[in-house]
Amino acid sequence: MFLYRRRVQFYETDAQGVVHHSNYAKYFEEARGELLRSLGFPYSRLRGEGFEVVLLSMGCEFLKPLLYDEEFCIEVDLSHIDRFTFSFQYNLKVGDNARARGYTKHCITKKGKIVSIPPEVRDLLIQFFSGPYKHLESQR
């Protein structure tokens, strides 16, 4: 799994000091971006090679409110990969307490058309998530 750490900012909360639900998608995207960056394949490199990572579907189950100034981590796991699509699962926690669970499903496009996942990206993801040392951590 990949760990991404972050702190809730005031502007991400509503009038009650609770993180607005729309921010969870942003948190998952940040974690996913940092994962790819840590593997040496940031979005900027993919885009530089003419590829785009496209979100096909996503979901989130909100278990307990996330509050202003709480430090949290997101555990990211690869849950599926084939020739054209890949999916991640996310567990957002404060300490050992689960606050949300989510998923995203993606494909890669080039010039607006779905293409096979570049072999280098596919191999990196499979190797990282199946290897004996499959733990990296990033902190914002």
**Annotated active-site positions, please?**
14
Return the percent helix, strand and coil in the chain, to nearest 5: 25, 45, 25
CATH code for the domain in which residue 120 is found: 3.10.129.10
pLDDT score for 130 = 87
Q: Give residue-wise pLDDT tens across range 92-107.
A: 999 999 999 999 999 9
Give the number of domains in the chain.
Answer: 1
- The alpha-carbon radius of gyration of the chain (Å, integer) is 15
For the chain, give the percent of residues with pLDDT over 90. Answer: 91
Q: Which two tokens stand for residue 9?
A: 């900012």
Evaluate if residue 2 carries a pLDDT over 70. Answer: yes
Give me the pLDDT at residue 95, please.
Answer: 97
Range of the domain at 21: 2-139
Place of tokens 């669970």: 101
Whether the model pTM is above 0.95? no
6, 138 Cβ separation under 8 angstroms: no
Q: What is the pLDDT of residue 123?
A: 93
